[in-house]
Structure 1
Amino acid sequence: MVSCNIRCQPLLDVRQNSRASGPRAAHQVASATGTAERPRADVAPGQVADWPQLAQDLDSKSPLEIIDHALATFGDEVAIAFSGAEDIAVIEYAHLTGRPFRVFSLDTGRLDKETYELFDRVEKHYSIQIEYTFPDAQETMDLVRAKGMFSFYEDGHQECCRVRKVRPLRRQLKTLKAWITGQRRDQSPGTRASVAVVEVDPAFEGTSGGPGSLVKYNPLAGMTGKETWNFLRVMDVPVNELHSKGYVSIGCQPCTRPVLPNQHEREGRWWWEDAGGKECGLHSGNVSAGSAEQDGEAGAERDLWPEGKVQALSREELSSLASAESRKQATMVVLYAPWCQFSQAMEESYNELAEQYAARGSDVRIAKFQADTDRQFSTKTFGLQTFPTLVMLPRSTSGYIKYPSERRDVETLDLWIKSVAGR
């Protein structure tokens, strides 16, 4: 277990003296010890608490309170996953609780020099030792010998991430009862919009093994990027030097690049791939309750957008629109799967978009097509790779335009439609 015995104070003293600011900053905590009735950590997590209810109870709490709950509940059997980017905020909050805490990091062997330098500075700043986890040497060697150093540019990042990140993470988590991540809902509106502040991990297993054996805390889920950076600046903590060079979301060196003004932060990751698939597998619970290495089509019981202004298109209607040389109106279509949480996450915003266009009398139609029922058609016609995929069928022209961004909020979708449809 790693302790933070240099700068720590008891939690109540920290609250009185914290200089942090912002709506979720440390000094606003009222009672970190009274957030919820804590389950016993010596019993399987799925049996000791109503975790969905606890998630609701903690959702309005500060990150400090949420992390304090995790550390008080699980002690040295919970650890912080640190990737070298904004996860430093999680470490700082853990430090502010005054409790001992553990930190682990996945060293994929492909990280930037600046990331390794940050690891060293963090260890010295908090007087801790990060527990490094590495990919299996033989498995990594077999992959590189068979496919080369940069196979992910040709066949997608999933295989490399599975070898260098997912499987090492799986081994690490098997030694824990809970883990703490730095996920935020605004990091990727298409894939992380519904991240809970605490949940029974649907994808990975803990010490006791089996479903429900691991709890996952996401204490920054409700924070925005602006709030997080305000906290980091005020607390004057070490940050990755790559942030000053235009990098926002930081991963492995070959798969990360700076983002341009007004680009979403996740667009700097795996930029050569379709925007909808940018989850490396570490948080595959965001996608489904199934395996981290399967997309689990055993589906939801209800369809998406069953009512409202989003128009359902049959295959025949969509095929006719796709092949038309000229169209009477522009049509925005989401190719979705009702079981896919990426698709579920955009249900509210897409429905609101359709209502706005209907209210203003626009001739742009907002539509949907359940593409998992006919993937071959969707792939051949629209290049479907992941769910959801958004395409525009412009008015008075042939072909289609694929929506390239991970941002699926109403404002961004509206701006994009206006830029390509002129309405």
Structure 2
Amino acid sequence: MTTTHSVSPLRVAAVRPEAKAADVTAQRVAELGSALDARLAAIAQRHTRAKFASSLAAEDMALTHAIFSRGLPIEVFTLNTGRLHAETVGMIETVAQRYGRRVIAFDPDAEAIKAYVDTFGLNAFYDSVALRQRCCAIRKVEPLNRALSDADAWLTGQRREQSVTRTELALEEFDAPRGMPKYNPLFDWDEGEVWAYLLAHQVPVNPLHARGYPSIGCEPCTRAIRPGEDSRAGRWWWESRDTKECGLHVSSAH
């Protein structure tokens, strides 16, 4: 039987983006922007079907802005898991209105979801890491594989600073299961630099960030963080820190 988790919103003070960006100078933002443009241009030149997997959160909006505002031939897509916050889904239209290009949404297989729910329960992911990973495999990994089936490279918004599972992140990796290069153009940025870039370019951001959500995933698996917690503490908060990946990135090799 599935255990019911009572998930109440944490009483946290919203962290203003301006506060995160306060120590980043305008010159530094310009340098970051130029370096990012160069990285993305090199990827676009090297690959004919590069795709960027966006969660529609802060880092990914920075990359979306850089790609769309410069007209780079990199497709931007998102995984519409069926359990996203309404605010996250709403960002798809926000992006279309701002940039005139759409983020393509890939949905999970409806029959696979039904089989999971019928067998284990709607929220069985709370019961064990294995059941949570199985849910992620259905709602995220399989749609990602489908989205990348005709790609020759994929990009992510991962950063080293985000969690203990990403401290060795590199700009370029090789994703063996999918047989293609994977790029992390923001791998060496810190959170303040991300927000300074967003503010400087007036990039639209997910409203959840202002409510204490630095990292945003599915609604039942994401909470606001407490002061002093790392940026991914609100993701699968009931699990150990070293299991907090959904299966999209754990197999990558440097």
Q: Same fold (TM over 0.5)?
A: yes
- Cα distance in 2 between the residues matched to 1:63 and 1:226: 16
- Cα distance in 1 between the residues matched to 2:27 and 2:185: 15
1:178 matched to 2:178? The reply is no
Question: 1:67: which partner in 2?
Answer: 40
Check conservation: 2:84, 2:219, Cα contact below 8 A: yes
Check conservation: 1:78, 1:180, Cα contact below 8 A: yes
Check conservation: 1:166, 1:281, Cα contact below 8 A: yes
TM-score with structure 2 setting the length: 0.84
SS in 2 for 1:121: helix
1:258 matched to 2:224? The reply is yes
SS in 2 for 1:81: strand
Superposition pairs for residues 1-80 of structure 1, below 5 Å? 21=26, 23=28, 25=30, 29=34, 62-75=35-48, 77-80=49-52
Question: 1:416: which partner in 2?
Answer: none
Instruction: Measure how far apart 1:155 and its partner are.
Output: 1.6
Question: 1:183 corresponds to which letter in structure 2?
Answer: Q
Superposition pairs for residues 193-342 of structure 1, below 5 Å? 193-202=167-176, 204-205=177-178, 213-286=179-252, 289=253
Unmatched runs of 5 consecutive residues or more in structure 2? 1-24
Check conservation: 2:173, 2:181, Cα contact below 8 A: yes
Aligned-pair identity (%): 39
Instruction: Measure how far apart 1:24 and its partner are.
Output: 5.6
Q: For 2:77, which of 104, 127, 137 is the aligned residue? A: 104
Instruction: Measure how far apart 1:220 and its partner are.
Output: 0.2
Q: How many correspondences in the alignment?
A: 227
Q: Structure 1 residues 247 and 28 mapped into 2: Cα distance closer, same or farther (>3 Å)? A: closer
SS in 1 for 2:28: coil
Check conservation: 1:105, 1:133, Cα contact below 8 A: yes
Question: 1:358: which partner in 2?
Answer: none
Check conservation: 2:50, 2:153, Cα contact below 8 A: yes
SS in 1 for 2:239: coil
Question: 2:137: which partner in 1?
Answer: 162
Greater C-alpha Rg: 1
SS in 1 for 2:232: helix
- Cα distance in 2 between the residues matched to 1:72 and 1:25: 22
The superposition leaves residues 317-352 of structure 1 with CA deviations (integer Å, 9 ceiling, x where unpaired) of xxxxxxxxxxxxxxxxxxxxxxxx9xxxxxxxxxxx
Question: 1:137: which partner in 2?
Answer: 110
If asked which structure has higher relative contact order (CA below 8 Å, sep 6+), I would say 2
The runs of 4+ residues in structure 1 deviating greater than 6 Å are none
Question: 2:57 corresponds to which letter in structure 1?
Answer: A
SS in 2 for 1:194: coil
Question: 2:56: which partner in 1?
Answer: 84
Q: Structure 1 residues 25 and 147 mapped into 2: Cα distance closer, same or farther (>3 Å)? A: farther
- Cα distance in 1 between the residues matched to 2:27 and 2:187: 15
- Cα distance in 1 between the residues matched to 2:73 and 2:168: 30
Taking only aligned residues, the RMSD between alpha carbons, in angstroms, comes to: 1.8
- Cα distance in 2 between the residues matched to 1:135 and 1:27: 35
- Cα distance in 2 between the residues matched to 1:21 and 1:106: 33
Instruction: Measure how far apart 1:26 and its partner are.
Output: 5.4
Check conservation: 1:21, 1:231, Cα contact below 8 A: no
Q: Structure 1 residues 200 and 27 mapped into 2: Cα distance closer, same or farther (>3 Å)? A: closer
Instruction: Measure how far apart 1:63 and its partner are.
Output: 1.9
- Cα distance in 1 between the residues matched to 2:140 and 2:167: 23
SS in 2 for 1:266: coil
